[in-house]
Each structure stands twice: as structure tokens, then as C-alpha cells.
A and B are shown apart, each in its own frame.
Chain A
Amino acid sequence: MARTEQQSNDKFAGRWFWRYAAPAAFYPLAGKIEKIGWVLAVVLAAIGLYMGFFVAPTDATQGEVYRVIFIHVPAAWMTMVIYLAMAFWAGTGLVLGTRLSFMMSHALAPTGAIMAVVALWTGSLWGRPTWGTYWVWDARITSTLILFFLYVGYMALSAAFDDKKKGDRASALIALVGAINVPIIYFSVKWWTTLHQGSSVRPGSSSMATTMLWAMLIMTFAFWAYCVAAAMHRLRTQIIEREAGAAWLDGATK
């Protein structure tokens, strides 16, 4: 059984983590993080896109179409990173019983799912000119699709409970079960693609110019900043919904 927040608070009283584990304390901090996130996202995206389109040279083998990479790769990475973060907070919530942890994983899930859609969409559009087809049953691609299913399952499950607290714990459990399965699925799909190799074209890796690499890295940081800001915004909305009636909220939302 999970410890209750009260018990945990007593035990760990005074540590910074527990101070911010209280929604009331984290609400203003989340606001600050959110603001910084939006600013960074806009600035970094501006720099990254400028570099990507105007500084980075045309790719020798692919031509201009490779410029999709500046959003495709960051989106694909965020899909995985956010899933891990979501499962981490879900686990924290189950073990420590802190409300904020569950809210954190709920706040991350929709952004993660959107990143999965962006990775799949941009990858498909990129695949057509490079591999001659929109879709290939490649291991990396297929795992991204399954990761998308796991996100949707998590969100659908938490929406299926009228009792929020139960929904929190139930969906946290399914997030953890999914997290254990991700590597199993990845290696199974990899095995499967080698089993069925032949017709499908496999993604080749091209050596990249350093400006391309830089543009991609900067865009990755822009995606990070965006995802953090969006998650913090969603987190604050949830705090408002769930702490309705708490006195401190009146001042905070006026």
C-alpha cells in the first residue's frame, strides 16, 4: 500500500522535495518555470530554424528534403523522453503517494502523444522521397507507433474513472507496465524486422555537416523548453481543478 502524503510529509519534513510536493507551494514555481520555458522555446526555435534553413548547407545525397530532420529528430526524442518522465512520476506517485507526482504525469502525457504524432507524421513525409513509401515497418518507426498507443491507453484509462484518485493510481500502474514493456517491444520488433528483411528499404545514416548537427541540437533544446512549458501550464490547470476550495487558490487565480 502506498504511504499517504501526510505520513510521508511527517517523515521527510523539511526537505526541499517535500516542500514542493505540496501543490500550493509548487504552483508559483511552476508558473516561473513555464514562463522561462516559453521564452526559451521561442528564442531557440528562431535560432535553430534560421540555422537549419539559412546556414546549414544542402545535403549531398538527399537534397533539401533532409531539412525535416530539424523537427523530426527532436520530436522522436521527446516522445521517448516524455514517456520515461511520465512513468517516473507515475512510479513516484505510487510509491510516495504524492498528489503532485500524479498530476505531473498527467500533465506530460498529452504533450508526449503530440510529439509521437509529429514524429510519425514528419517521418512518413520524409520517407516518401527517401525510401519511396510513406510507411515502412522498421523497428524504430514501429516502436514509436506503439509508444503512441501506450500514451493513448494511459490517457484513456485516467479519463475512464470518475474518482480522480483512483484514476491517478490506475493510470500510473499502466504507465509503469508500459515502461517495462517498451524495451521488450523494441527488441521484439527489431528481431521481427530482421526476420522479414528484404523488401523494405532501411533507413541509411548520412554523415552530417556540423552546422546541421548544431541546428538539430538547438531545435532539440527548443522542443525540450516547449514541452516543459506546456506540461507546467497543464500542471497548473490541474492544480486549479483539484484544489478547488483551497483558500490560497483564490488569490493565485484572481
Chain B
Amino acid sequence: MNWESWSAFWDMGGRGFFVWGSYGALLIAVVAELLSLRSARKAAIRSLHDDHETL
């Protein structure tokens, strides 16, 4: 095991900002992409059924 404690883990040998800044950005990017995927799908299905009504 590399880490003595959780605080050592978060500290990353004094480079926590850089390491967690990177992983955090990845997390934000992934979450944002997933949300946009989901909202795009919802919008597509909604307009699909709208179309059916007007046809």
C-alpha cells in the first residue's frame, strides 16, 4: 500500500493540486458529456413524437 493515510493520499506528496486538478477535469468532462448525451437523446425522442402528431 502506497499511502499511510487518506490525507497523504489527497496530498499526493504535495502535488495534490496538479493530480486532482487533472482527475477532476476528466471527471467534469465525462459527466458533462454524459449529461449532454442524455439530453440530446431526450430531445430527439421528443421531437420524434411531435412529428408523429403533426403528420
Complex A–B touching at CB under 8 A = yes
Which A residues are closer than 8 A to B by beta carbons? 53-58, 63-65, 67-68, 71-72, 75, 110-111, 114, 117-118, 121-122, 125-126, 128-129, 226, 230, 233-234, 236-238, 240-241, 244-245, 249-250, 253
> Complex formed: what's the CA distance from A241 to B36 in Å?
15
Min CB–CB distance B40 → chain A (angstroms): 5
User: Could you tell me the dominant secondary structure of chain B's interface residues?
Assistant: helix
A-B contact count (CB 8 A): 88
Interface residue from A55, A117, A236 paired with B29 (Cβ < 8 Å): A117
**Residue in A56, A65, A226 whose CB lies within 8 Å of B19:** A65
CA distance A118 to B2 in the complex (A): 26
Q: Please give the distance in Å from B39's CB to the nearest CB on chain A.
A: 10
B19–A233 touching, CB < 8 Å: no
Number of interface residues of B (CB under 8 A): 31
Evaluate whether A114 and B44 lie within 8 angstroms (CB atoms) in the complex, with A58-B13, A64-B12, A126-B22 already known.
no
C-alpha spacing A145/B38, complex, angstroms: 28
Contact B51 A72 (CB under 8 A): no
Cα distance A233–B13 when bound, in Å?
39
A245, B51: Cβ atoms closer than 8 Å: yes
Interface 0/1 of B2-33, CB less than 8 Å to A: 11000001001111011101110110011001
